[in-house]
Amino acid sequence: MSPDMMVQLLGEGFLLIVLMVSVLIVPSLVVGLVVSVFQAATQINEQTLSFLPRLLTTLVTVMAAGPWLLARLIEFTRHVTDTFALVLA
């Protein structure tokens, strides 16, 4: 396996990690921002008010995007194993 192929696989892996994390974190970040603006406007400083909506948003996002994320992860794993199989053959 050439170094170029290894660098390409690592780059694809890092891109997949960034994609998967951003799909899960961005909705929670948006909900947290909305709740923070609401708390600042009403001067309510309750910790559970900011935690619970973000938790529920993350759970809903995992349920909605989970199959797609798992399919992408399986596709990448197959690509890596196929590439290693070609090198070893």
Looking at the domain assignment, is residue 3 inside a domain? no
Looking at the domain assignment, is residue 59 inside a domain? yes
Looking at the domain assignment, is residue 1 inside a domain? no
Looking at the domain assignment, is residue 44 inside a domain? yes
Looking at the domain assignment, is residue 74 inside a domain? yes
Query: How many domains does the chain contain in total?
Result: 1
Q: What's the pTM value of the predicted model, to 2 decimals? A: 0.78
Looking at the domain assignment, is residue 42 inside a domain? yes
The whole domain housing 53 covers 13-88
* Six token digits for residue 72: 């992408």
pLDDT in tens, the chain (89 residues): 678 888 899 999 999 999 999 999 999 999 999 998 998 898 888 877 888 999 999 999 999 999 999 999 999 999 999 888 777 76
